[in-house]
Amino acid sequence: QVQLVESGGGLVQAGGSLRRSCATAQRIFDLYTMGWYRQAPGKQRELVAIITTTGSTNYADSVKGRFTISRDNRKNTVYLQLSSLKPEDTAVYYCNAIRLDTFWGQGTQVTVSS
């Protein structure tokens, strides 16, 4: 069973920063595109950022310039650095691994207070 183990998140004031982490097995990390999604109350889950096995990245327009996705190949971990946070960034954030199939982390709430 594939596990994506997430950490980080919580409550932060607007303008603040925090970092999310997601660790998985090497066999997944080496082959799968890793990403972060989020789901706000009453809204559909949306892509935040992805990073391929070669390090190419893509971001949602709403987070460009504020969020940074990265990966540590030694630790089989993908990170999401969230900066200049806004109240509208409040959501449950999910780690994702995708190739021919897809796997999800358990999700963690990020709340940005104004």
> Which pLDDT tens digit goes with each residue over 21-45?
999 999 999 999 999 999 999 999 9
User: CB of 106 within 8 A of CB of 6?
Assistant: yes
> Which pLDDT tens digit goes with each residue over 83-104?
999 999 999 999 999 999 999 9
Task: Give the mean pLDDT of 74-81.
Answer: 96
**For the purposes of burial, counting CB atoms within 10 Å of the CB of 27, is it exposed (0-12), middle (13-18) or buried (19 or more)?**
exposed
pLDDT of residue 35: 97
Judged against a pLDDT cut of 90, whether residue 6 lies above it is answered with yes
H-helix or E-strand containing 113? strand 108-113
pLDDT of residue 2: 78
